[in-house]
Amino acid sequence: MHRPSSGTAPTGVTRAGAGLRISVVGCGYLGAVHAVCLASLGHEVVGIDVDAERIGLLARGTAPFHEPGFDEVLREATGSGRVGWTTDIAAAATCSVHFLCVGTPQLDASGGADLRFVHQAFDSLRPHLSPGDLVVGKSTVPVGTAGELAERLSREACGAGLAWNPEFLREGCAVQDTVRPDRLVYGVCEGDERSARILDVVYADLLAAGVPRIVSNLETAELVKVASNAFLATKISFINAMATLCDATGADVVALSDAMARDPRIGSGSLAAGLGFGGSCLGKDIRALYHRAEELGVADSLGLLRDVDRINQGCRELAAELARQACGGDLDGRRVAVLGAAFKPGSDDVRDSPALAVAQMLHAEGAVVTVTDPKALDNARKQCPQLVYADDAEAAALDADVLLLLTDWPEYSLLDPTVLARTVRRKTVVDTRHSLDAPAWRAAGWNYVAPGRPHA
Ligand code: UGA
């Protein structure tokens, strides 16, 4: 690990008062949060995106997504005048540090990453770079991408450098994860100390607060991100595989996970069994990592990632099967109430949401599926217009043959089973996230079912 420098910007880097002038290209979840947090750290930031609607919202101080704490920092940064928003990439010309924060979605069935937006952003930024500027990649990319971009800058001799600085923020705690991350990783070209010094100025407050900083080559930095996500996905699928074993033996996966987590080498993070992972990152990243390993001829070593993906898909199928069993084996015409649409609590994101995936499976078998969610109803409606939506749990549960808890919003654990018992047609609840107080639900007359837990 390299020691941070004093916080003085290297010459040629444009200063704005105490901070730097920074552009953030791509204002999706990652970019918007990053831009606003950089402004809160005292830098002058311009957020740039091709999506005029998104830029319009941000410029008015309105968050384009639900993220706890983001509205406040956005309003503060907008009010301070330290962050501006535009669709005009030429605005980057006044800045000397440029973060690339565009998305890298899954390409197709091959599982590879689509780098179109990275290349488009880089190409559009390139004419506005000046000698001494630093381009910093934050997008999650296949290992080798940063090296190609660095080589291009050096071939074109524009005098700008390139570093890779992956992001580890989680949706639902994005602001906290950005201003107090577990670690900062700087990937730099061999012998490039200047880029690390510039990043030290960008993150001076974080370093002063003791956030550890690791300097590596570009390839390692790219891999830290995907390897971390692959590890988290593996932990989740591991405990879900154990849940299957619990179902086969009468063991309880909740107690198992709790006991395993007490070993500090294992830890409790990403060890909650249930419906498995979804969202825009873990699934896409394990597939892209496997695809890259195939390209590099080392796929044999990463075959476990295929199992991780398969086990995860199995969790969704098991949830559908438990609903089917609760309805006597045939879902046609049955009423299913679904609690949760977001891929995880604290978010309105429904991309690859396990909850919506299960809801769609049941709908495809003829069930009338009514979904509720505290924050994600609008996004869910857009993605799955064929489902029925209700404003709250009670409305969703009306005359239901089975109630499914699919996203572990804390408010669902507070639901009163006695009240809901009066609303439903049949009192069976499938608690795929192990959120409910099983004895209390049973005492209220419910047939309580949960993957990996003994049935009473
Ligand atoms: C994930 C990583 O946790 C971040 O570190 C990373 O920066 C981010 O991807 C990214 O690449 O941008 P995120 O997708 O926001 O963050 O969500 P997680 O909290 O990791 O949850 C992912 C999924 O796993 C959710 O569907 C969640 O319900 C599920 N999960 C999580 C479990 O099934 N069990 C657990 O124990 C934890």
- Protein residue with its CA nearest to atom 8 in ligand 1: 170
| The last residue of a domain, from among 145, 176, 211 | 211
The pTM for the full model equals 0.95
252 is a domain residue: yes
Residue 4 is predicted with a pLDDT of 39
283 is a domain residue: yes
Residue 18 is predicted with a pLDDT of 63
Number of neighbours of residue 71 by Cβ within 10 angstroms: 15
Alpha-carbon distance of 230 to 219, in angstroms, equals 16
Q: ∠ at Cα 30 (230, 63), nearest 5°?
A: 135
Same domain, 359 and 409: yes
Closest approach atom of ligand 1 to CA 274:
33
Residue 260 Cβ contacting ligand 1 at under 6 Å = no
Residue pair 266/342 in contact (Cβ under 8 Å)? The answer is no
Residue 181 Cβ contacting ligand 1 at under 6 Å = no
Same domain, 362 and 313: yes
- Protein residue with its CA nearest to atom 24 in ligand 1: 277
176 is a domain residue: yes
9 is a domain residue: no
Tens digit of each residue's pLDDT (9 = 90 or more) over 266-276: 999 999 999 99
Q: What's the start-to-end Cα distance of the chain, in Å?
A: 53
Average pLDDT for residues 165-185, to the nearest whole number?
A: 96
282 CA → ligand 1 middle, Å: 7
Closest approach atom of ligand 1 to CA 225:
11
1 is a domain residue: no
Mean of per-residue pLDDT scores for the chain = 95
Residue 393 Cβ contacting ligand 1 at under 6 Å = no
Same domain, 293 and 370: yes
18 CA → ligand 1 middle, Å: 35
Residue 2 Cβ contacting ligand 1 at under 6 Å = no
Alpha-carbon distance of 387 to 368, in angstroms, equals 8
How far is CA 262 from each of CA 207, 238, 344, rounded to the nearest angstrom? Answer: 30, 16, 24
Closest approach atom of ligand 1 to CA 270:
36
What is the pLDDT confidence band of residue 157, given thresholds at 50, 70 and 90? confident
Residue 232 Cβ contacting ligand 1 at under 6 Å = yes
365 is a domain residue: yes
Same domain, 54 and 203: yes
Tens digit of each residue's pLDDT (9 = 90 or more) over 315-357: 999 999 999 999 999 999 999 999 999 999 999 999 999 999 9
412 is a domain residue: yes
Q: Is the dihedral of CA 106, 385, 424, 364 positive or negative?
A: negative
Same domain, 241 and 375: yes
Domain containing 92 equals 15-211
Alpha-carbon distance of 223 to 293, in angstroms, equals 11
Same domain, 193 and 290: no
Tens digit of each residue's pLDDT (9 = 90 or more) over 12-49: 565 555 689 999 999 999 999 999 999 999 999 999 99
| The last residue of a domain, from among 211, 243, 278 | 211
How far is CA 399 from each of CA 138, 257, 450, rounded to the nearest angstrom? Answer: 48, 35, 21
Same domain, 129 and 264: no
172 CA → ligand 1 middle, Å: 10
Residue 168 Cβ contacting ligand 1 at under 6 Å = yes
Alpha-carbon distance of 340 to 295, in angstroms, equals 38
Same domain, 203 and 255: no
Burial of 288 (0-12, 13-18, 19+ CB in 10 A): buried
Domain of residue 189, CATH code: 3.40.50.720
Q: Select from 226, 232, 242 the residue to mutate for testing ligand 1; criterion: most ligand atoms less than 8 Å from CB.
A: 232
216 is a domain residue: no
Residue pair 138/167 in contact (Cβ under 8 Å)? The answer is yes
Tens digit of each residue's pLDDT (9 = 90 or more) over 65-104: 999 999 999 999 988 999 999 999 999 999 999 999 999 9
Residue 3 is predicted with a pLDDT of 37
| The last residue of a domain, from among 182, 211, 240 | 211
Q: Tally the domains of the chain.
A: 2
Contacts of 85 (CB under 8 A, 6+ apart): 27, 46, 47, 48, 49, 55, 58, 59
Number of neighbours of residue 235 by Cβ within 10 angstroms: 18
What does the block give as tokens for 318? Answer: 């098991």
Residue 229 Cβ contacting ligand 1 at under 6 Å = yes
Phi-psi region of 351 (alpha: psi -120 to 50; beta: other; left: phi over 0): beta
174 CA → ligand 1 middle, Å: 12
Q: Does 2 score more than 50 pLDDT? A: no
Closest approach atom of ligand 1 to CA 236:
34
Same domain, 190 and 306: no
- Protein residue with its CA nearest to atom 33 in ligand 1: 276
Same domain, 173 and 292: no
Residue 67 Cβ contacting ligand 1 at under 6 Å = no
Same domain, 137 and 249: no
Q: Does 382 score more than 80 pLDDT? A: yes
Same domain, 420 and 305: yes
